[in-house]
């Protein structure tokens, strides 16, 4: 996996090689690879000259630093009560039907991962979801159909 090695090195050059650089480096890996593999963690540990346990400890604490393989597009649907009241369950069902997966799963072609997340900060425009870093609000089943259709073409 020379690419990961190269990526870690690049990120360390950009953010530095101290403990404080750890989070930005892990975030950089996730934005490229969608998750931090065990190999990437040991690579970061080597590059920053710290124990792999420290890297693992930090990486596994944060819900946006996934440590298992994720799809190219990670969908995070807000599960807070206010989004729930505006029809989140219907949105979830629409997503599950469209992608033919359950929450927590990734499609066979590794294109989509479907997750639930805590308050996204769009309670006045619920239901809301993130696809990678992109935000979608005021969701309806029709709108979700359209959005996912667009992503399927990508």
Whose CA is closest to 113, among 8, 30, 2, 26? Answer: 30
Nearer of residues 108 and 118 to other proteins, judged by Cβ: 118
Of 6 and 134, the one with the shorter C-beta distance to other proteins is: 134
122 binds other proteins (CB under 8 A): yes
- How near is the Cβ of 5 to other proteins at its closest, in Å? 21
* Gap between the Cα atoms of 114 and 32, Å rounded: 18
Q: Which is nearer to other proteins, 82 or 145 (CB)?
A: 82
Q: Does 123 bind other proteins (CB under 8 A)?
A: yes
- Give the count of alpha carbons within 13 A of 2, CB side only: 0
Site string for other proteins, 7-26 (x = CB under 8 A): -----------xxxxxxx-x
Q: How far apart are CA 50 and CA 8, in angstroms?
A: 14
Is residue 114 within the footprint of other proteins (CB under 8 A)?
no
Contacts of residue 148, defined as CB under 8 A and 6 or more positions apart, other chains included, come to 95, 98, 99, 112
What Cα–Cα distance (Å) separates residue 27 from each residue in 19, 65, 137, 141, 150? 14, 7, 24, 31, 26
Residues 34-73 that bind other proteins (CB under 8 A): 57-58, 61-65
Distance of alpha carbon 90 from alpha carbon 93, whole angstroms: 5
- The footprint of other proteins on residues 73-112 (CB under 8 A) is 79-82, 84-85
Residues found near other proteins in the complex (CB under 8 A) = 18-24, 26-27, 30, 57-58, 61-65, 79-82, 84-85, 117-126, 130, 133-135
């Amino acid at each position: 996996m020379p690419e990961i090695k190269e990526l870690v090195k690049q990120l360390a050059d950009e953010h530095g090689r101290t403990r404080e650089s750890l989070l930005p480096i892990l975030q950089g890996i996730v934005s490229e690879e969608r998750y931090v593999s065990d190999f990437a963690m040991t690579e970061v540990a080597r590059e920053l000259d710290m124990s792999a346990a420290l890297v693992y400890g930090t990486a596994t604490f944060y819900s946006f630093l996934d440590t298992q393989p994720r799809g190219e597009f990670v969908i995070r649907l807000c599960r807070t009560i206010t989004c729930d009241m505006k029809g989140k369950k219907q949105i979830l069902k629409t997503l599950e039907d469209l992608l033919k997966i359950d929450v927590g799963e990734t499609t066979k072609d590794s294109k989509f991962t479907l997750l639930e997340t805590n308050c996204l900060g769009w309670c006045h425009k619920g239901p809301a979801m993130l696809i990678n870093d992109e935000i979608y609000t005021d969701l309806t089943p029709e709108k979700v159909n359209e959005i996912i259709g667009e992503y399927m073409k990508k």
